[in-house]
A and B are shown apart, each in its own frame.
Chain A
Amino acid sequence: MKGRIWGSRGSIASPGKDTRRYGGNTSCIELRPPGSDVVILDAGTGIRELGMRLVEEGTERIFLLLTHLHVDHLEGLGMFEPIWRPQTELHIWGPASPLASLQERIAMYFSPPLFPVHLSEVPARIEYHDASESEWQIDGAGFASTAIIHPGPTVGYRIESKGRVLAYLTDHEPALGADLETDAPEWISGFGLAHKANLLIHDCQYTPEEYHGRFGWGHSTTEQVAQFARKTEVDRVMLFHHDPMHADDQLDAMRDEVIERLGVEGDRVTLAAEGAELEV
């Protein structure tokens, strides 16, 4: 399974000289499971450039997996060129809320005054799929989703193709009310999705010092990522959802800290960098 990072920043797009190495676009990952059409994880601002690439390629069938509908994961959808083409067949998975469907929730953003065009006017054929607690197949690749700890309905994804597993848990605070060292796995948010994945892409927004005063905001620290990775026995970890206030050098220091806490070889912990290729 191959892919590419199109956006790795959390919360708000953060272009500038201090964020060049790891990028300023918000969450978006392109995946190419063998034999499958393109799968996109989240529709942050990074999806704009990916959309132009897909139009150039002539791609007409697209699978978009949204983890949740906070703006930094959805704001790129309006500038995603394929949705403005009637020949596009777009399947969107994402969490419903307890009371509103996924389509209704996306339409809240995709309508005036937040956006000039209403979702119903988009020419692409869009199908919506509730990913609150699901398992499904796309062209031989297996997908699973479950709700994870983050304010509002939010899911993580486990994607398996040809025996290789990628787990995507951006925006995740599994340590909220839990002890990641001692609690049984069944009681740890996201454990089932991440267990023994070949690659875990996980929220790493804060240092432990920054976390004080940000409990419950739905994000993890370097220490918590290391604990979660150890508990779930993953092969490799990619640190994701970089804080918009963190410059590239600070991110390097956070990666070093995760490596030290995990006690593993450096190549098992990477920072998600815009433009970087993925191989699982």
Chain B
Amino acid sequence: MAQAPEQRNLTLILARSFAAQLATAVFLLDAEGTIIYYNEAAERLTGRPFIEGAGNTAEEWMGRGRPLDEEGREVPMESLPLGTTILKREPAHGVTMFRLNEDSYQRIENVTFPLFAHTEDFVGVMAIAWPLDENRP
């Protein structure tokens, strides 16, 4: 039969609608790890409008500045909560230093969890970023 236009899985549609209503920074990635949405709070937190990040993989998106651990060491993608959830399809959390610009970092608590539409149907990842210290937007 003639193919209907591609459409996001309903779980992602609902996740995006939910995130759009939140004042908490939320990122949404598809099952391949591509950034498909982040909300206004995430734009404010990172200083990057969504239009710049849409369609990037998480790896590409972080290319401007690798997150650091609390000792100032770069954290490889697979060790970040987001990387863990994409690769292992498990929830994860951790604190990282996110680079805002050349010499400015923000401590962020990250909580990431996989989205399963059905038991075996992994459709994406939701990541919540909670700014620590006094810089919460």
Residues of A within 8 A of B (CB): 96, 98-99, 132-133, 135, 137, 142-144, 146-149, 158, 160, 163, 165, 176-178, 185-189, 191-193, 195
Is the pair B13, A187 in contact by a Cβ cutoff of 8 Å?
yes
Across the interface, A185 reaches (CB within 8 A) one of B7, B116, B121, namely B7
Q: What total count of A-B pairs have CB within 8 Å?
A: 66
Is the pair B21, A98 in contact by a Cβ cutoff of 8 Å?
no
Is the pair B10, A148 in contact by a Cβ cutoff of 8 Å?
yes
Is the pair B119, A149 in contact by a Cβ cutoff of 8 Å?
no
Is the pair A149, B5 in contact by a Cβ cutoff of 8 Å?
no
Is the pair B7, A186 in contact by a Cβ cutoff of 8 Å?
yes
Given A98-B119, A189-B13: A177 and B21 within 8 A (CB)?
A: yes
Which of B2, B4, B16, B18 lies at the interface centre, i.e. has the most chain A CB atoms within 10 A of its CB? B4
Chain A neighbourhood of B119, CB < 8 A: 98-99
Chain A neighbourhood of B117, CB < 8 A: 98, 132-133, 147
Chain B neighbourhood of A191, CB < 8 A: 5, 7
Least Cβ distance of A88 to chain B in Å?
A: 27
- Is B52 engaged at the interface, CB distance under 8 Å to the other chain? no
Size of the B side of the interface (Cβ < 8 Å), in residues, is 22
Q: Mark B8-20, 1 if CB is under 8 A from A, else 0.
A: 1111011011101
What are the 9 closest A-B residue pairs judged by CB atoms, nearest first?
A: A142-B1, A177-B17, A192-B7, A147-B10, A192-B4, A160-B1, A192-B5, A98-B118, A195-B5
Chain A neighbourhood of B102, CB < 8 A: none
Q: List 20 A-B contacts (CB under 8 A).
A: A98-B118, A98-B119, A132-B117, A132-B118, A142-B2, A143-B1, A144-B1, A146-B7, A147-B117, A149-B13, A149-B14, A158-B4, A177-B17, A177-B20, A185-B5, A188-B13, A189-B10, A191-B7, A192-B5, A192-B7
Q: What is the CA–CA distance of A185 and B4 in the complex, to the nearest angstrom?
A: 12
Chain B neighbourhood of A99, CB < 8 A: 119
- Is B134 engaged at the interface, CB distance under 8 Å to the other chain? no
Q: Which residue of B lies closest to A130 (CB)?
A: B118
Chain B neighbourhood of A163, CB < 8 A: 2
- Is B6 engaged at the interface, CB distance under 8 Å to the other chain? yes
B residues 114-137 in Cβ contact with A at 8 Å: 116-119, 121
